Structure 1
Amino acid sequence: MSVQTPKRQLINPPHTQVFYDNFHYSQATRVGDMIWVSGQVGIDASMTPGKDIEEQAHLAFQALQTILEAAGASLADVVELMTFHTELQADMQGFARVKDQYFPDRYPSWTAVGTTELALPGLRVEIRAVAVAGCGAP
């Protein structure tokens, strides 16, 4: 009896295909039940950053949720968050309030890192995640 090796699945919803084509990365990669989500940032459909940390955090978490759904998972399946902040100390309370709206319990592991800049001018936060599909079900 042989064990079948899980295949790698690239997750790129249609509205994100431009990033795959132009910058050569996937929004997420799924192998078996494991999902690694690339950094999601607080931009709207016109690629404009949100006006403050709360708006950017909401936009980034909404993007994370969309990518996870395309991968067959949900925010409840997130086991690890890593966030990058250009104004870590100043933004931490506002960001944490928004994060808690998306993760009201069963909190994932979380690492917050301060950095000098992100991919676009005006960005203050980027969120990447690791999820295990189906593990969030009660």
Structure 2
Amino acid sequence: MTTQDLRRQSINPGHTQAIYDNFHFSQATRVGNMIWVSGQVGVDATMTPAEGIEAQTHLAFQALSGILEEAGASLADVVELMTFHIDLQSEIHTFGQIKDKYFPDRYPSWSAVGVTQLALPALRVEIRAVAVIGCGRD
């Protein structure tokens, strides 16, 4: 690999620029063919949390997918997930069923952590990921 291949690239789609400017973090960072995605949550375009674990989980995975696409990858390239849950024991089954729709096979490594709070009081789950571009291709 050349030095050019190893330069760090911040991934911040236009609609996330305010987050980058106000909170000083990137939605993802790409170095070479690896991508580290910051925690994605179930909020709509106005940053309003969706109602309930199902809706929030779908929105968070959709946001994750969009960030990966912006970085040149897809959900198939995800090698690791880390999820943070406000009510892990009660909601993990529902979350797992939805996760399996986004990852129907070739499951990534996954750690699920129960936490007492997330960035907004109404949030139920946050999803972060690591991806390797191209590894999801057969």
TM-score range, shorter chain: over 0.9
User: Which residue of 1 is the match for residue 76 of structure 2?
Assistant: 76
Residue 33 (structure 1) aligned with residue 33 (structure 2)? yes
Deviations 1:44-82 (A, max 9, x none): 112111111110000000000000000000000000000
Count, aligned residues:
136
Residue 114 (structure 1) aligned with residue 114 (structure 2)? yes
Root-mean-square deviation (CA, aligned residues, Å) is: 0.7
Q: What displacement does 1:30 show?
A: 0.2
Residue 123 (structure 1) aligned with residue 92 (structure 2)? no
CA distance in 2, matches of 1:46, 1:91: 25
Q: Which consecutive unaligned segments of at least 5 residues does structure 2 have? A: none
Deviations 1:1-56 (A, max 9, x none): xx522100000000000110000000000000000000000111121111111100
- Local SS of the residue matching 1:79: strand
CA distance in 2, matches of 1:95, 1:59: 12
Q: Which consecutive unaligned segments of at least 5 residues does structure 1 have? A: none
- Local SS of the residue matching 1:82: strand
Q: With structure 2 as the length reference, what TM-score do the two structures score?
A: 0.97
CA distance in 1, matches of 2:16, 2:45: 10
Task: Give the aligned residue type for 2:80.
Answer: E
Q: What displacement does 1:115 show?
A: 0.2
- Residues 1-138 of structure 1 aligned to structure 2 (within 5 Å): 4-5=2-3, 6-138=6-138
- Local SS of the residue matching 2:134: coil
- Local SS of the residue matching 1:134: coil
- Local SS of the residue matching 1:131: strand
Runs (4 or more) in structure 1 with deviation over 3 Å come to none
Task: Give the aligned residue type for 2:97.
Answer: R
CA distance in 2, matches of 1:56, 1:126: 9
Percent identity between the two aligned chains: 72
Task: Give the aligned residue type for 2:77.
Answer: D
